[in-house]
């Protein structure tokens, strides 16, 4: 039969033939021969020679294409060894790296969590993963047998036939029984849960849209809180409004940032006789205690009105620290208190921009400033955090301040009226979100709040995923603790029904409970399950279009972050595991709900701020102006030393929950590929990859 396809081929050709089978029905087999030595000879440019060369060039082209196809096939065969190499590398990393279940015993004062409580959530995910892998094996076998059962073409009568003898018939019977069980028992509750999450999704999206419209209205109308006194002028002391202000800096083992925060507060532009600085130190490291004490003494010698307070027993964490400081006898001489965490660096005119809002406004209890970040462009993790916090301040805090006069206190960069704190009951140690607790209680007593979007206070963002995860756990478990404690007081409070509805439904349930619940349940549980139970359907617009729209709204306050829209969407779904776990632990009072870990800081500051600060300090001391080049070199040298020191101590952490969900989502993506579900496949694939990157600690800086 080969002779039929040897048209135009020399009989004397000694090249090895290549047989290519083709699927086209008009062709069954073609023999293509490799080039011989004569094909590469240069001939005279005659007409016959040109025809001969044209014929030989066609053969050469065919041969080159076949060689490239052979190389492509070789690349495909090398995928399996590459995957095995990747798996072995991951195994070595898991064996040598620390996991999120490890406890750093070298840190004194860190409470060890109950291992049973800590592993309960992870055990459920492992069981779910094993079941999903088994189901995927069944689905792959059924796919190659040509079975494609779905809600529309499922024939239930076919499923009741009795099995015959033999392994093949037994497998047919088992798979048919599984289809029957999932159709009658699994699909209805899964579809109900999916519909419920879609409804919650709509409600939360509507809330997000209303907030964005409110922010647009504020910008369009140029609504902005304006103090009655106007801009202060310290030269005209009689006309200015200079009440007594107490400034507090709570800190605990903040060795990296204590100098810059104390220096920034000591240079606040306010009459020195009118404000007092309290450095409230809860550090348990003797070296850190000594360094902070020496720094305070140095500023005392320079004429700053500053005191150092150290607690030996750290009861109540930050709330206990602030409560202890407010019990000092001299606090009664002050009317307002400004609070700054250890990594916050207020500008010299901070008090001049915030305190005047209290004049002739006796109902005002809190003035909150916005945060800005010195390291927002440090890595991908800080960029994604900046998107979230920009939306929080620009939209949530500003809209709630203008239209409701209530929002959650951010715990720092704010000025309180001391009377409002005392009337609300003072700082309480019952939750890990003491700032939100005092804000809720003050609002129930009728106090109003103001948020200043144009007044910024610089601080740091967590640069490692471990630090960010601990922070988010505290921020999402604490509100659920507080909701359990405050619900009776909210119901009994003498405030309007609208304010009660806002606090119970919008502030607590929708934004603190429903958001992490549906985000984790819908995208990490229900969506993978619908791949194995196709009778329960999840529309494509729920998977793709609505989340993309909501992410687009979230990123509007940070327009420079638009290139990170897709990573932001995937990372927020990845963080839903931590947020959901924290929400559950806070709601049901599990062991981790009371966990308080100080967020790790690197001590970064903007170079311009440090230079201006040194200039101002030298000017106040009466010495000559400093050499800016020397200051810049010193700053650069210190940062290089910190980076070099960190590189020696870095190690990898392995996060088991994230890795388990990564393999679960990738398994579901393989099942969706069999079902030819395009959008679902891509979403599950990229979401699984994002979980894998986070689980292997490949986002942000590594942990010391």
Report the SS3 class of residue 606.
coil
16: in domain: no
pTM for the complete prediction?
0.75
C-beta of residue 257 within 8 angstroms of C-beta of residue 283: no
Burial classification of residue 263, based on how many CB atoms lie within 10 Å of its CB (0-12 exposed, 13-18 middle, 19 or more buried)? buried
Whole-number pLDDT of residue 546: 77
Model confidence over 522-566: pLDDT tens digits? Answer: 888 898 888 888 888 888 888 887 788 888 889 989 888 888 988
- Tally of domains within the chain: 2
C-beta of residue 101 within 8 angstroms of C-beta of residue 657: no
Burial classification of residue 356, based on how many CB atoms lie within 10 Å of its CB (0-12 exposed, 13-18 middle, 19 or more buried)? buried
Report the SS3 class of residue 371.
strand
Shared domain check, 471 and 441: no
Name 132's Cβ contacts closer than 8 Å, sequence gap at least 6.
528, 532, 664, 667, 668
**CATH code for the domain of 316:** 3.90.550.10
Task: Give the residue carrying structure tokens 């049901």.
Answer: 588
- Catalytic site residue from 39, 435, 437, 697: 435
DSSP annotation of 558: -
Shared domain check, 482 and 456: no
Task: Give the residue carrying structure tokens 């309960």.
Answer: 120
Whole-number pLDDT of residue 550: 84
Shared domain check, 440 and 326: yes
Shared domain check, 563 and 442: no
Pair of tokens at residue 668: 């579901």
517: in domain: yes
136 CB neighbour count, 10 Å cutoff: 17
Composition of the chain by helix, strand, coil, percent to 5: 60, 10, 30
- Catalytic site residue from 39, 100, 282, 341: 282
Helices (H), 222-243: none
Mean pLDDT computed over every residue of the chain: 77
What does each C-alpha distance from 26 to 1, 21, 22, 152 come to in angstroms? Answer: 15, 12, 9, 37
Domain that holds residue 250: 245-377+403-461
556: in domain: yes
Average pLDDT over residues 296-301: 94
Shared domain check, 517 and 468: yes
Question: Predicted confidence band at 34 (pLDDT cuts at 50, 70, 90)?
Answer: very low
Whole-number pLDDT of residue 533: 85
DSSP annotation of 5: G
Question: Predicted confidence band at 480 (pLDDT cuts at 50, 70, 90)?
Answer: very high
Question: Predicted confidence band at 624 (pLDDT cuts at 50, 70, 90)?
Answer: very low
Shared domain check, 487 and 436: no
Average pLDDT over residues 60-84: 67
Name 137's Cβ contacts closer than 8 Å, sequence gap at least 6.
none
Asked if 343 is an active-site residue, the reply is no
390: in domain: no
Pair of tokens at residue 675: 């079902």
Whole-number pLDDT of residue 595: 67
C-beta of residue 154 within 8 angstroms of C-beta of residue 179: yes
Shared domain check, 590 and 543: yes
677: in domain: yes
Query: DSSP string of 140-209?
Result: HHHHHHT----TTT--GGGGGPPP-SSHHHHHHHHHHHHHHHIIIIIHHHHHHHHHHHHHHHHHHHHHHH
610: in domain: no
Q: How would you label 10-22 residue by residue, b for 16+ Cβ within 10 Å and e otherwise?
A: eeeeebeeeeeee
163: in domain: no
Shared domain check, 699 and 595: yes
Distance, in Å, from the CA atom of 375 to the CA atom of 462, rounded to the nearest integer, reads 9
Name 634's Cβ contacts closer than 8 Å, sequence gap at least 6.
none
Whole-number pLDDT of residue 515: 86
Question: Predicted confidence band at 107 (pLDDT cuts at 50, 70, 90)?
Answer: very low
DSSP annotation of 392: I
Shared domain check, 262 and 314: yes
Whole-number pLDDT of residue 186: 87
Model confidence over 237-293: pLDDT tens digits? Answer: 445 678 999 999 999 888 888 899 999 999 999 998 899 999 999 988 899 999 999
Domain C-terminal end among 418, 442, 461? 461
574 CB neighbour count, 10 Å cutoff: 25
Domain C-terminal end among 413, 428, 461? 461
Shared domain check, 499 and 354: no
Model confidence over 139-182: pLDDT tens digits? Answer: 666 666 665 544 444 444 444 444 445 555 676 777 778 778 88
Domain C-terminal end among 461, 481, 505? 461
Shared domain check, 488 and 424: no
639: in domain: no
Asked if 169 is an active-site residue, the reply is no
Shared domain check, 304 and 219: no
């Amino acid at each position: 039969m080969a002779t039929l396809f040897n048209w135009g081929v020399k009989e004397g050709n000694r090249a090895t033939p290549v047989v290519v089978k083709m699927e086209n029905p008009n062709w069954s087999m073609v023999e293509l021969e490799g080039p011989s030595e004569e094909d590469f000879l240069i001939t005279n440019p005659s007409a016959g020679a040109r025809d001969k060369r044209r014929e030989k060039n066609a053969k050469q082209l065919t041969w080159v294409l076949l060689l490239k196809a052979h190389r492509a096939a070789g690349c495909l065969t090398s995928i399996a060894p590459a995957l095995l190499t990747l798996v072995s590398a991951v195994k070595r990393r898991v064996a040598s790296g620390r996991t999120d279940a490890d406890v750093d015993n070298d840190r004194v004062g860190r409470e060890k969590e109950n291992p049973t409580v800590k592993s309960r959530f992870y055990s459920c995910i492992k069981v779910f993963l094993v079941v999903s892998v088994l189901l995927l094996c069944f689905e792959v076998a059924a796919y190659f047998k040509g079975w494609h059962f779905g809600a529309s073409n499922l024939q239930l009568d076919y499923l009741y036939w009795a099995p015959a003898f033999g392994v093949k018939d037994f497998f047919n019977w088992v798979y048919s029984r599984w289809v029957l069980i999932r159709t009658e028992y699994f699909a209805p509750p899964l579809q109900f849960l999916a519909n419920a999450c879609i409804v919650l999704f709509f409600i939360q999206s509507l809330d997000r849209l209303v907030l964005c419209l409110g922010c647009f209205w504020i910008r369009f109308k140029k609504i902005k809180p304006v103090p009655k006194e106007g801009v202060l002028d310290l030269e005209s002391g009689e006309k200015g409004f200079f009440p007594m202000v107490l400034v507090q800096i709570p800190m605990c083992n903040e060795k990296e940032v204590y100098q810059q925060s104390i220096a920034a507060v000591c240079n606040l532009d306010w009459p020195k006789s009118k404000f007092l600085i309290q450095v409230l130190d809860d550090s348990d490291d003797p070296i850190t205690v000594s360094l902070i004490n020496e720094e305070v003494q140095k500023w005392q010698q320079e004429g700053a009105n500053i005191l150092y307070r150290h607690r030996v027993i750290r009861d109540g964490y930050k709330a206990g620290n602030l409560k202890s400081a407010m019990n000092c006898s001299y606090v009664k001489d002050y009317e307002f208190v400004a609070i700054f965490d250890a990594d916050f660096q207020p500008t010299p005119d901070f008090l001049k921009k915030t305190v005047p809002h209290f004049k002739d406004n006796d109902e005002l209890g809190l003035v909150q400033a916005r945060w800005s970040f010195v390291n927002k462009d440090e890595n991908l993790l800080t960029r994604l955090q900046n998107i979230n916090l920009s939306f929080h301040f620009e939209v949530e805090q500003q809209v709630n301040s203008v239209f409701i006069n209530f929002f959650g206190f951010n715990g720092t960069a704010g000025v309180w009226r001391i009377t409002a704190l005392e009337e609300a009951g003072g700082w309480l140690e019952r939750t890990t979100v003491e700032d939100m607790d005092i804000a809720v209680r003050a609002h129930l007593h009728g106090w109003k709040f103001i948020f200043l979007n144009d007044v910024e206070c610089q601080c740091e963002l967590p640069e490692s995923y471990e630090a960010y995860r601990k922070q988010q756990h505290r921020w999402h478990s604490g509100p659920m603790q507080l909701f359990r404690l405050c619900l009776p007081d909210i119901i009994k409070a003498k405030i309007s029904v609208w304010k009660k509805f806002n606090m119970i439904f919008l502030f607590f349930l929708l934004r603190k409970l429903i958001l992490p619940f549906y985000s984790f349940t819908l995208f990490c549980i229900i969506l993978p399950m619908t791949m194995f139970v196709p009778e329960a359907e999840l529309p494509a617009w729920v998977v793709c279009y609505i989340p993309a729209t909501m992410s687009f709204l979230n990123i509007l306050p940070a327009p420079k972050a638009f290139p990170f829209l897709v990573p932001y969407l995937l990372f927020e779904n990845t963080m839903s595991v931590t947020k959901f776990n924290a929400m559950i632990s806070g709601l049901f009072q599990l062991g981790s709900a009371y966990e308080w870990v100080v967020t790790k800081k690197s001590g970064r500051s903007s170079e311009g701020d440090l230079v201006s600060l040194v200039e101002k300090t030298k000017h106040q001391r009466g010495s000559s102006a400093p050499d800016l080049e020397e200051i810049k070199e010193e700053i650069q040298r210190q940062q290089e030393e910190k980076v070099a020191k960190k590189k020696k101590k870095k190690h990898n952490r392995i996060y088991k929950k994230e890795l388990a969900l990564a393999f679960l989502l990738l398994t579901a993506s393989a099942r969706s590929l069999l079902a030819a579900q395009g959008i679902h496949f891509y979403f599950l694939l990229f979401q699984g990859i994002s979980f894998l990157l986070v689980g292997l600690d490949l986002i942000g800086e590594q942990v010391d």
